[in-house]
Structure 1
Amino acid sequence: MNKKVDYEVKTSKFIFDSFIVWMFILCTLWTLRPFFSWSTYMHGIFSGLSTPFFILGLVAYFLQLMICGVRFDNKTVILVITTFIVSFLMIGVCGGFKFEKLLSGSWIPYMVIMTYLLLPNKLKKEIYNKLTLILAVMLIPSIIIYLFNLIGINLPYRTIEAFEDIKIISGVFYKHYPFAVQTGSVHAVYDAAYALRLNGIFNEAGALGTICALVLTAEKFDLKKWKNRILFIAGVLSLSLAFFLITFLFYILDNLFERKFKNVLKLIMIVVAYFIFMNVPINAEPFTSIQSRLRFTTEGLAGDNRTSEAYNSLYEEFKNEGEVTRLFGKGDGAIAEEQNLRMIDGSSYKNIIFDFGYIGFGITITWTVLVSIVLMKQNRIPMKYTMIFCTIYLINMYQRPSVFYPGYLIIFLGGFYAFNNSGINYTKIDNEV
């Protein structure tokens, strides 16, 4: 009889585990905004599903707790409690003490992360591994279609309207191929330039490049794995400045920590190649565009197109606000509302300061560093990779301003839990939660 009960419990746990994993994968995938999640794709029948996916996964998780039970280690409990406190501060305190926000959907991203942290380590690892595998597989058709178009074999496509008003006004639309989209424009010059940058399944080549770079960072740029080779190829074809900068930064940090001073010569050669490329006149897109974006000026990197003059003016208005506003911000989503109202494009770390103030900005950085340290100790990860993961994730915040964005954060956290791909023993760790 006991064997039968034990079998039923194991079967129930397997079913619940599988369901929870897939709900979290779908929730995370939807937050990355692939084309099939847009409100303009098939009249939006698949849009807005990230929250339902999460709720279903959350319900399944609590049912599993009731049926099978689970033990939490003290570090995980402290980590979740800390995340809850940070969530409360970010939603209710930062942003002008708008406590009514505590009863809004602003909780959802934080709840996704807190629930993910509570899952058994083997499920967290499985979510990460399957998510990154799915991303790689979904990029294969888009790479093939991109190469066909590049050599002049133009494949038939349908069009999808942009879901952002500012892009619609700018004449941007999307060419929809099977399992892929490509940015297009009513203006021939821009349309030709967009065609040279791979979008994959996302609305921007820059978004694709960022996602590929973050996954490859978590994977320690291990190109022996076929999925990582696909992600690397996709990142290169996106011609994303973020992808190349993150890749270069990883290479620099990795060699500095390893004290591979012989590779200094390679770094020098890259720098020399940069100056040669920047000073050779090339009258062809997208190379002229890349040259202009990679040029450094007295104001910084010329390729920093994450902001605009109107965006900077909006941020200057914020800086002229009272001291309380500067410290605590104007509230979750405040800058997005202003940008939509004034039709201002732009995205940078300043978004976080605008919404949550300097205090909220400091909280997000502190939380990221503390979580990295806890996961490093919990999962026995070398300090070297912990510092690399954390540094690159925080730097990415400059152009993708949301530390608690589930799509990016689960990739970041998953990199810690999946680190055993390098041979770390997780048998004991998996039994701790």
Structure 2
Amino acid sequence: MLAVLLSFASLSSHAASAAALTLDQALAAAQEAHPDLALAVADQAVAAADRDLAAARSDWNLSLEAGLRQARPTTGPDAVSDNSFKLNARKSLYDFGRTALATQAADSLLEARAASLLDVRARRRLDIMARFFDVLLADLQYASDNEYMAVAYVNFDNARDRLAAGQLAAADVAELESAYQEWLVKRNAAQARQRLARAQLANAMNRSGRLSADLTDPDLVGNNRPLPEYEQLLPLLRTSNPRLAALRAQLAAATQRIEAVRAEKSPALDLELEAADYSREASTRDNLRGGVVLTWPLYTGNRVNAQMAREQAQFQRLQAESEKLSLDLEQTLLETWLEIGELQRTARTAAKKNTDYRDLALERARGQYEMELKTNLGDSMAATMAAKLHERQTEYRLALAFARLEALLGQPLEKVAGDKTAGENKEQTK
């Protein structure tokens, strides 16, 4: 126990804060600044700018033209000034869907970026939760290995005394020393993992260098939630998963871009207004003019066809990605669902029973130790610590599996249960 306390004291000297960190506090960092989150926000900002750019295609275009010229009229020998000043305004009246389709494509892409942002936040929560549990497990592993090392050292130290008294052979002492050295190596490696796990948690929270000395072990009451049937979860995955939603939006954007490219061969109708002033009067010049201009592209070469082929290839690629992702996510959903079921039904019970047994064995060992019947108290304490480690590891696995399940569904399980109850009540009403 002294070695454990000294280890934590050493670790605290490198920590930025001595306050115990809770899981809720750590998960709150998922909403704070982070490079992954900044990338997703930047992608969303680019998509918003593209949407504004597409919608601006039908805005007024106002241009100013000023010219300083010298001209020699055909009716006179001298050169005269032929300066001009023109103000031109032009606006698209109808472009046969170009602007509308480009704006729709940009809106769909913005929707995809918003779904991707939700997915990034969900993955950040999962990463922080996993790193938080890694720290707790590293502490428990260190305590367990340290307990076993202490037992091995006591056995080795006693053997040296017996060797000096001629009660034990040197080979037996060497065997016990070797066992102690092995546990010493494991204990030191576990101590290094404590520091590494804290550094990984700090990086996941975007707080590099600010290591948390103490963490509060969460209650994880959500592990007792009922698990809905797989057949109930599968439709929710297909409709609400953020990654699938992002790809569906990208597919919609690709379809709209194809139609926008196809519209490039259609005519365009523009309104044009112009005001001008000239230094030399002429009968063919107008100070004010206005009209409607019809532009019909008769030949565009291979430009439109090549762009169309590119957009169609991009659509096919996105479609293949969507189908592959759907298969992968369905497989992940089944694996996660089965893992939760196995952990809830058997693994938790087995781990708890093993912990209870080790607690009883420790109490028995304490009683025998006090009566000086046996000296296996250290072994029992080490086994109890190892059983506690396994029990908490099982609970952390279950909590992470539930979190992955909710991330796959894009909504909390409570909402799934609430929707099911509402549906059942509606059927009963009918």
Q: Structure 1-normalised TM-score?
A: 0.22
Q: Structure 2-normalised TM-score?
A: 0.22
**Greater share of strand residues, 1 or 2?**
2
Larger Rg, first or second structure (1 or 2): 2
